[in-house]
Structure formats: C-alpha cells, structure tokens
Amino acid sequence: MNQEVPIEGVERRGAALGSLTPVRVALLLGLATLAADQVWSIMNLRRTSAELATAISAQEGPLLQARRIETQLDALATGTFKLAQAGNRNAQAIVADLQAKGVSIDPEARKRGDG
C-alpha cells in the first residue's frame, strides 16, 4: 500500500529523465550525424595523406634523374661556351644558335647558385 504523496516543487525522477521528447530525439540525431561526419572526414584525410605520401615518394626517382640530367646539360653548355670563347668555330655556331633561340649560357650561374 505504497501511495505516492506529491510534494510540491519535486518532480518524479523517472518522468524527468526517461522521457524522450521530439526535441531531445532531434538533438541526439543531430549530434550522432555530426559525430559520424567528423569520423568520416578524419578517415578521408588520413587516406588522402597516405596517397600524397605515396605520390611524393614516387617522384623522388624521376626528380633525381632530372637533376642529374640538368647537371650534365650545364656541364655540356659550359664546355661549349668555353670552347666558343677559345675560338672554336663549331662551338661559336652552337652558342650563336642557342642565343638566337633565347637560350643564354652563364658558366658562373651554377657557382653562384642561380642555376
């Protein structure tokens, strides 16, 4: 024979915590959606980061090869320029042809760090 006697200003505990109003349901769904979106974004960023790391490492070989070829081309151009300065007619013709095409040879550029 337990009868509850209502006390003024005190709510029933189960009613206050257990009722899911439409506003609470919408708020919980919104928070769950936001959390799921954040997890998806983090996973997508990690995948993209891994793909970028793979792309960068794949470029290392061709980049080293390009630097080696550039060094060889600089040495060839510098040698040709020095031969032209020394009076070699074939080297002078090559340097003149390159200059006509807009290519200038500066043998000191590599030493200064410009090339």
Structure letter (DSSP) for residue 113:
T
22 has a pLDDT exceeding 80: yes
Question: What is the 8-class DSSP label of residue 12?
Answer: -
Query: Any residues with CB less than 8 A from the CB of 77 and at least 6 apart, and which?
Result: 98, 105, 107
pLDDT at 37 over 80: yes
Assign 12 a pLDDT band (cuts: 50, 70, 90). Answer: low
Count Cβ atoms below 10 Å from residue 95 Cβ, excluding itself.
Answer: 20
Structurally, how many domains does the chain consist of? 1
pLDDT in tens, 54-107: 999 999 999 999 999 999 999 999 999 999 999 999 999 999 999 999 988 887
Residue 95 lies in a domain: yes
Backbone angles phi, psi at 20, to 5 degrees: -105, 105
Task: State the residue range of the domain holding 34.
Answer: 19-112
> Within a domain: residue 34?
yes
Predicted TM-score of the model (pTM): 0.52
- Examine residue 93 and state whether it is found in any structural domain, yes or no: yes
* Amino acid, res. 60: E
Query: Confidence band (pLDDT; 50, 70, 90) for 20?
Result: confident
* The pLDDT of residue 104: 87
Q: Which of 68, 62, 98 is nearest to 80 (CA)?
A: 98
pLDDT at position 19 is 80
For residue 6, how far is the Cα from the chain centroid? 66
87 in the Ramachandran plot: left (φ > 0), alpha (ψ -120 to 50) or beta? left
Specify if 54 maps to a domain: yes
Q: Distance of CA 93 to CAs 53, 74, 100, Å?
A: 46, 18, 10
The answer to the question of residue 76 being in a domain is yes
Answer whether residue 28 is part of any domain. yes
Token code pair at residue 51 = 């793909």
